[in-house]
Amino acid sequence: MAQPVPVLLWAWGTLTALAGAAQGSFEVSVSPEAAMVEHGGSVWINCSTTCQVPGASGGLETSLIKTDRKNGSSWVAFRLVNIKEWASSPQCYFTCGGTIKLVTANISAYRAPERVVLEPLPEMELGQAYNVTCWVLNVAPVTHLTVTLRRGGETLHTETFQNHTGTGPDDITVITEITPQRSDHGQEITCHTALDLHGSHFKNSSSAVELKVYGEFPHAPCAIHTVPPCTRDTLHAP
Ligand SMILES: *[C@@H]1O[C@H](CO)[C@@H](O)[C@H](O)[C@H]1NC(C)=O
Ligand SMILES: *[C@@H]1O[C@H](CO)[C@@H](O)[C@H](O)[C@H]1NC(C)=O
Ligand SMILES: *[C@@H]1O[C@H](CO)[C@@H](O)[C@H](O)[C@H]1NC(C)=O
Ligand SMILES: *[C@@H]1O[C@H](CO)[C@@H](O)[C@H](O)[C@H]1NC(C)=O
Ligand SMILES: *[C@@H]1O[C@H](CO)[C@@H](O)[C@H](O)[C@H]1NC(C)=O
Ligand SMILES: *[C@@H]1O[C@H](CO)[C@@H](O)[C@H](O)[C@H]1NC(C)=O
């Protein structure tokens, strides 16, 4: 009664292996999994498989335009061109022993801002509050944008937009309040943008706006953030 056991085990093992092949004990992968492409640009997408069955066939399902194709025994790559969809998800597939497997890649298109502009500032009265406004026009994807307002080399304000909805280009307004001090007279305000795309940075900046500050300039240096602003009167008050 001992003999049939190994035979049964052998048969069971073989069936499991065959079932495994038929049910898809193979993998499909795509490279790159996520791509950032300049709006209107192109990218190669490579689909590959671990399938060992000869004649495994694969492809890429996408609404984007395919121009070139290269393939090896276990991979197939396509060049996608003129990418104008702001977000698209081509699907790689392979058929292996009658089973099909899919894997999705994400392609996002980006566009550097068309313009980065600072709103002109009036002549500023010492100690009064003013808004500095920067417009960033026609940029995508806003979720990867950082806008920084600077006074000289000093950062006044930094803003990011991780929660911005929509994948297409948008206009962004960034505002920060400043209360000019005497030492700000002649300083330059600039607005800087950075699109951070998987390690590549695309930077732009506005032209500079010079601060013109007027008011009673005291002889002695003022304490920073004095309210009301220190003037000759307050300094010489009895
Ligand atoms: C692709 O995009 C989808 C939906 O936004 C997301 O769930 C998925 O994690 C992304 N995949 C990769 C590899 O970035
Ligand atoms: C596609 O990927 C396979 C597997 O990683 C690799 O062997 C092949 O060289 C790649 N083809 C191209 C055109 O990059
Ligand atoms: C590339 O694909 C073609 C058509 O599917 C096939 O005949 C050819 O053998 C493939 N090339 C390689 C290197 O596997
Ligand atoms: C932004 O910077 C890129 C180069 O990084 C440049 O080609 C483009 O003209 C700049 N755009 C503006 C609005 O300055
Ligand atoms: C600056 O703008 C904010 C938001 O638009 C507004 O609430 C604030 O009153 C403005 N400050 C000044 C000094 O204009
Ligand atoms: C983005 O949304 C999350 C969840 O709603 C929130 O916790 C986070 O503070 C938001 N981030 C910004 C920069 O607004």
Which tens digit of pLDDT belongs to each residue from 157-169? Answer: 999 999 999 889 9
Is residue 126 located within the same domain as residue 98?
no
Q: pLDDT tens digits for 5-28?
A: 344 344 444 444 444 444 448 999
71 lines ligand 3 (CB under 6 A): yes
Of the candidates 110, 140, 166, which is a domain's last residue?
110
Answer whether 106 contacts ligand 1 (Cβ < 6 A). yes
Mean pLDDT of the chain: 85
Per the structure, the count of domains in the chain is: 2
Average pLDDT over residues 212-225: 66
Q: Structural domain of residue 215, as residue ranges?
A: 115-235
Domain boundary among 81, 110, 139: 110
Question: At 213, which amino acid appears?
Answer: V
The predicted model gives 157-182 an average pLDDT of 95
Query: pLDDT by residue (tens digit) across 133-144?
Result: 999 999 999 999
185 and 139 fall within a common domain: yes
Is 162 close to ligand 6, i.e. is its CB under 6 Å away? Answer: yes
End residue of a domain, out of 110, 128, 148: 110
- 103 and 156 in a single domain? The answer is no
Pocket test for ligand 6, best of 144, 146, 162, 172 (most atoms within 8 A of CB): 162
Per-residue pLDDT reduced to its tens digit, 106-151: 999 999 999 999 999 999 999 899 999 999 999 999 999 999 999 9
Tokens found for residue 47: 């689909």
Q: Which helix (H) or strand (E) holds 101?
A: strand 99-104
Give the SS3 label for residue 18.
helix
CA 173/CA 184 separation, integer angstroms:
23
Measuring from atom 14 of ligand 6, which residue has the nearest CA?
163
Contact 77, 95 (CB under 8 A): no
C-alpha closest to that of 189 among 199, 176, 202: 176
